A and B are shown apart, each in its own frame.
Chain A
């Protein structure tokens, strides 16, 4: 496998190998030319972290390689909403993007440089490669720097564990490339392992029909739909399915195997920790409920059963000590562990971690809202699961008619749109004149649940 920091020195026989099916003529050599052309044009720009955004995975990749040549980390953002961009730009020198609506400081384009190209250099493994944001439970995202060595050891670990089983079969994906899981699985791992980078993301289950044998890297949301799809009945061409970003429930997992998928591998991890553990589900074998730490990763249960991780993917400095997380686990004598939920106010909606406090803060920006509580619908029987619900302390007139409630929710959604993708918008809304609180000011959870149990949803 080609080390990540040496990709811009393809060996002679490697220089002409194809990089992606999405662009048939794209060889490793041309990726190098593009990255160097951009790096050359950026010579006069200040050095430091750049926010990188492109919808096109290959442009994104070339931008990333160019930044590494300049010694600059790329700041990865989950979306290009104004609030997200502003926050990311606080710790960066500018935006590198090909999105016309965004007015980037540097245009992400690969037209030839007007002068001689700077020579490619080997990037030091200790260089900060990317900065990712995790949704801090205080509502304020926290930047996490990742060194090149961390990304490289994670890819090398994946190749060691799964590479032989995957062979040269194409990888297909349903993942965005600007979060860590997508970046590793859909761009950097195939790049370094000489597999073709997947083209366009698959968007609907129907697209999985009639494919040649392949590997699929996907998410629980997509996989549950694929499992239930009446159109796609046979999955025997999927030799290996990766699922990450959240929990894949037992039922869809068994349905995928029943439809012929050979193996479903779930990866447990986060942007901060990288991959932590795996769970392999095979045809004809009982469901695996517990997680096996990945090779090289140590896991233990710390205070209040919070998972702590020691791994080359999570920490660059081997002496950095255990990394605390907010995942609650129970360790088993076998070395495996059982996941028991989150210990903080983060919900996973469609694989995205959403800080509930951040959504509440945004809702409170409405002039008629004095307070708000957002909760995951997993606590609400009878409601759609995996979504958010909001209780809003409303300073306007009561009672609200259904159209007035819709109007109020729609005004709040317009505010949320500045920061969040639509999946983070609450599905269920309850407007109350005051939110019941206990003596220390915390909302009464039981009273909140009661609001959603009642037939009348005023």
Chain B
């Protein structure tokens, strides 16, 4: 695991908490592999859209059409990090 990737994971956890104003939660408490939606962090469809927008603004990442693929990108911090790392334009 490269340092850059670990760094990016930490940035994304902070971005999730800030963008969605999550209370009672610190970045360290978001587990890398835990599901962001449903039973995990309990995010919903509005959160997903807001998070997608925040990510495309911060990392100049574009998400492609395709519900299933996007669901996979947003599954966990790990999958989100991997997507951003390979698609970011800044």
Could you tell me which A residues sit within 8 Å of B by CB distance? 200, 202-207, 221-222, 225, 228-231, 349-350, 383-384, 386-387, 402-403, 405-406, 409-410, 413, 421-423, 425, 427-429, 457
Kindly state the separation between the CA atoms of A425 and B37 in the bound complex, as whole angstroms: 13
Residue of B nearest to A457 (CB): B23
- A350–B57 Cα gap in the complex (Å)? 22
- Cβ contact of A229, chosen from B23, B29, B56, cutoff 8 A: B56
A384 to B20, CA, bound (A): 8
Given A230-B56, A384-B20, CB of A423 within 8 Å of CB of B45: yes
7 A-B interface contacts by CB (under 8 A)? A204-B70, A206-B63, A206-B65, A225-B52, A405-B24, A421-B44, A422-B44
Is there contact, CB below 8 Å, between A425 and B44? yes
Residue of A nearest to B54 (CB): A228
| Most A-side CB within 10 Å, residue of B25, B46, B62 | B46
Chain A: CB-nearest residue to B65: A207
- The complex places the Cα of A401 from the Cα of B85 at a distance, in Å, of 35
Q: Which residue of A lies closest to B67 (CB)?
A: A203
- Are B49 and A402 closer than 8 Å at their CB atoms? no
In contact, B63 and A204 (Cβ under 8 angstroms):
yes
Closest residue on chain A to residue B40 by CB atoms: A410
Shortest C-beta distance, B84 to chain A (Å), equals 14
CA distance A386 to B49 in the complex (A): 14
Collect the chain B residues with CB atoms within 8 Å of residue A427's CB: 21
Q: Give 6 A-B pairs besides A225-B53, A409-B24 with Cβ atoms closer than 8 angstroms.
A: A204-B65, A205-B53, A230-B57, A231-B62, A413-B42, A423-B45
Chain B residues, CB < 8 A from A221: 46, 49
How far, in Å, is A363 (CB) from chain B's closest CB? 15
How long is the Cα–Cα vector from A416 to B2 in the complex, in angstroms? 41
Prevailing SS type, chain A contact patch: mixed
Please name all residues of chain A whose beta carbon is closer than 8 Å to the beta carbon of B67 when the two chains form the complex: 200, 203
* Complex: A423 Cα to B46 Cα, angstroms: 7
Complex alpha-carbon distance, A383 and B70, angstroms: 27
Contacting residues, chain A, for B42 (C-beta < 8 A): 410, 413, 422, 425
B21 and A228: CB pair below 8 A?
A: no
Give the interface size bracket for B toward A.
20 to 34
Q: Contact: A203 with B70, CB < 8 Å? A: yes
Q: In the complex, what residues of A have CB within 8 A of residue B70's CB?
A: 203-204
Asked if A383 and B65 sit within 8 Å, CB to CB, the answer is: no
Provide the B34-75 mask, 1 if CB < 8 A to any CB of A, else 0. 000100001111100110110011001011110100100000
**Which residues on B sit within 8 Å (CB–CB) of A229?**
53, 56
A457-B24 CB under 8 A given contacts A221-B49, A228-B53? yes
Bitwise interface map of B from 6 to 26 toward A, beta carbon under 8 Å scored 1, else 0 = 000000000000001101110
A384–B65 contact, CB under 8 A?
Answer: no
Asked if A422 meets B24 with Cβ closer than 8 Å, knowing A203-B65, A204-B65, the reply is no
Q: Pick from A384, A409, A410, A423: contact of B21, CB below 8 A.
A: A384
Residue pair A406, B25 in contact (C-beta under 8 Å): yes
Q: How far is the CB of A153 from chain B (nearest CB, A)?
A: 33
B29 surroundings in chain A (CB, below 8 A):
403
A383 to B20, CA, bound (A): 10
Chain A residues whose CB sits within 8 angstroms of the CB of B49 once the complex forms? 204, 221-222, 225
Residues of A within 8 A of B50 (CB): 225
Contact between A428 and B44, CB atoms less than 8 A apart: no
Nearest CB on A from B88, distance (A): 13
What are the residues of chain A within 8 A of B64 when measuring CB–CB? 206
Pick from B46, B60, B65: contact of A230, CB below 8 A: B60
Minimum Cβ distance to chain B for residue A12 (Å):
38
Q: Which residues of A contact B62 (CB under 8 A)?
A: 206, 231
CA A327 to CA B42, docked complex, whole Å: 32
A350 and chain B: residue at smallest CB distance: B46
Closest 5 CB pairs of A and B: A422-B44, A402-B24, A207-B65, A423-B44, A405-B24
Q: A229 vs B50: C-alpha distance in the bound complex, in angstroms? A: 10
- Give the distance in Å from the alpha carbon of A410 to the alpha carbon of B34 in the complex: 15
Distance in Å: Cβ of B21 to nearest Cβ of chain A:
5
Pairwise interchain contact B65-A428, C-beta atoms closer than 8 A = no
Residue from A403, A405, A427 whose CB has the most chain B CB atoms within 10 Å: A427
Q: Shortest beta-carbon distance, A229 to chain B, in Å?
A: 6
A221 to B20 Cα, complex, angstroms: 15
A204 touches B52 (CB 8 A): yes
Are A350 and B23 CB-contacts (below 8 A) given A207-B65, A230-B56? no
